[in-house]
Amino acid sequence: MIAAEALQKSYRTGSDTVCAVRDATVSADRGEMIAIVGPSGSGKSTLLNMIGLVVPPDSGRITIDGTEPIGRNDRQCAAFRNAHFGYITQDFALLNDETVYANIRLPLLYNKTVPRREHKRRIHTAAKALAIEDKLKRRVSVLSGGERQRVAIARAMVCDQPVILADEPTGSLDAENRDRVVSILLDLAHSKGRTVLIVTHDSSVAERCDRVIRMKDGVITP
């Protein structure tokens, strides 16, 4: 499903160059849930963001579901992302002045495969799975950190894309909600054949995954 080969990314800040990721090769199949672990600053988000086509690599190749999406224009790239990835970013990237319902709906508005009449049902199903169905009418700005995190997760599930990319999706959650989220993601992988990549600092999350990728100083270690 995902084949990333020899990905490389450096950032220049002033006179310094930081090599955030070097020579990273990752493959992930359908039905697999893979944890990406490593110390802060080791390149986990950069790797995930390159695979998710948000950060362009300096070099290397990415193939998603048999196609090589690099080199498309912004619009094609956005459409490709929406068709393939449910994304949970490290900062949640929610619209704080909008309701929970509107936030979860957002990717549906860009999705070409889910008919409009199905939006409401999908949004309620995703919200129910994350136990925030009673919050759909609230504005995101009044929610707790853990509730916000669950809105971001519901939004990543609502289009039911083949790949879910999650950057620390359980960092703000209590143990019960964390375990619920991991169970939902595992079920998407194992029962529906989705591919899940999850960055985590939590060993109890990594332990439940099918496989663990470890990063240190921008390099994938054995």
Ligand X SMILES: Nc1ncnc2c1ncn2[C@@H]1O[C@H](COP(=O)(O)OP(=O)(O)OP(=O)(O)O)[C@@H](O)[C@H]1O
* Least distance CB 129 / ligand X (angstroms): 26
* Stretch touching ligand X by CB under 6 A, among 26-34, 40-48, 96-104, 146-154: 40-48
Closer residue to Mg ion (CB): 45 or 82: 45
Q: Are 116 and 122 in contact (CB under 8 A)?
A: no
Per rule CB under 6 A, is residue 11 in the interface with ligand X?
yes
Q: Verify binding: residue 169, ligand X, rule CB under 6 A.
A: no
200 counts as binding Mg ion under rule CB under 5 A: no
Structural tokens at position 162: 């083949």
Task: State yes or no: residue 110 binds ligand X (CB under 6 A).
Answer: no
What's the DSSP call for residue 130?
T
195 closest CA partner among 85, 54, 57? 85
Residue 13 interacts with, from ligand X, Mg ion, none (CB under 5-8 Å by kind): ligand X
User: Which of the listed partners (ligand X, Mg ion, none) does 20 bind, with a CB threshold of 5 to 8 Å by partner kind?
Assistant: ligand X
* Distance, CA of 193 to CA of 175 (rounded, Å): 26
Q: Is 220 in the site for ligand X (CB under 6 A)?
A: no
Q: Does 40 bind ligand X (CB under 6 A)?
A: yes
According to DSSP H, which parts of 15-87 are helical? Answer: 44-51, 74-84
Tell me, letter by letter, the H, E, C secondary structure of 39-58. Answer: CCCCCHHHHHHHHCCCCCCC
How many Cβ atoms from other residues are within 10 Å of residue 142's Cβ?
11
Smallest gap from Cβ 64 to Mg ion, in A, equals: 21
Helix axis angle for 119-129 and 145-157, nearest 10°, is 130
When asked if residue 170 is in the footprint of Mg ion (CB under 5 A), the reply is no
Binding site for ligand X (CB under 6 A): 11, 13, 18, 20, 38, 40-46, 90
Binding site for Mg ion (CB under 5 A): 45
